[in-house]
Structure 1
């Protein structure tokens, strides 16, 4: 069996004041998959310096989580909402792809 891998999806920078490779560089992690735009990939090829950076921020992440819990932020509910929103963003493109493939399949049968 193949192990599942964590997917970092759409890690292109949206804020033009950030480096175009900000998120890509921060998410270099063994045995994960990262999807990004071609522009971001090209920028990473030019500017990227691969190294493990995520582990540097573990203490900060733990502190942030504890702070949110002290504020009674329901992290499970936040995660569930983000998951629903993320899935919704992929449904329409997936449906369009399925429709396109079906049209191509029908077109080949007709010829």
Structure 2
């Protein structure tokens, strides 16, 4: 591989990284991209995540109530990138709500040995 080709690949990787950061972490869009379109796409990606998270954790969606869109948007902005998987995203959102007093702590499971006690 030539030095010129390696440099071009490096520039492309950096540009792709900036684009992903703009889409998922609220960073400034890279040069040459329409900021309004990037914002619209980023908003669409957050809405898709919110929809999946609400299906996976209906308890979290219920706890957020009417504020689900705003709460999830704030949660998404608080992270530098989405977690690796929707289940983790859903559990992290529930924990985020719990930290803010919007969701009760999960019920404690009884210990296996407690049923043996009189």
Q: State the TM-score, normalized to the length of structure 1.
A: 0.27
Instruction: Select the structure of larger CA radius of gyration.
Output: 2
Specify which structure has the higher proportion of strand.
1
Q: State the TM-score, normalized to the length of structure 2.
A: 0.26
